[in-house]
Amino acid sequence: MRFAISYSSPFHGVDPDRLIAVARHAERCGFEGLYLPDHLALYPGAMFGAVELPTQLPYLEPLDALSFVAATTERILLQPPDDQS
């Protein structure tokens, strides 16, 4: 069985050092992949469950962020958003 993690920048932040630390830790723990969600913007009134999300939440641009992670990790698979799901 294979496992991956998802890094959500609105919840974990956009600090590059933190992203790298999470990716390296996941790699050391044996996770196979790291996924980043993608949003250009949130519309006013967007909800996460029963919570309204602020429109100014910080989102990383996934291809740039994953390229950055690729330069600092060895084997973890990096996955941009999949719009087919």
- Looking at residue 84, what is its pLDDT? 45
The four Cα atoms 22, 69, 81, 59 give a dihedral, to 10 degrees, of: 70
- Looking at residue 10, what is its pLDDT? 84
Alpha carbons 24 and 68: distance in angstroms, whole number: 12
> pLDDT tens, 23-81?
999 999 999 999 998 776 778 888 878 988 888 888 888 889 999 999 999 999 998 77
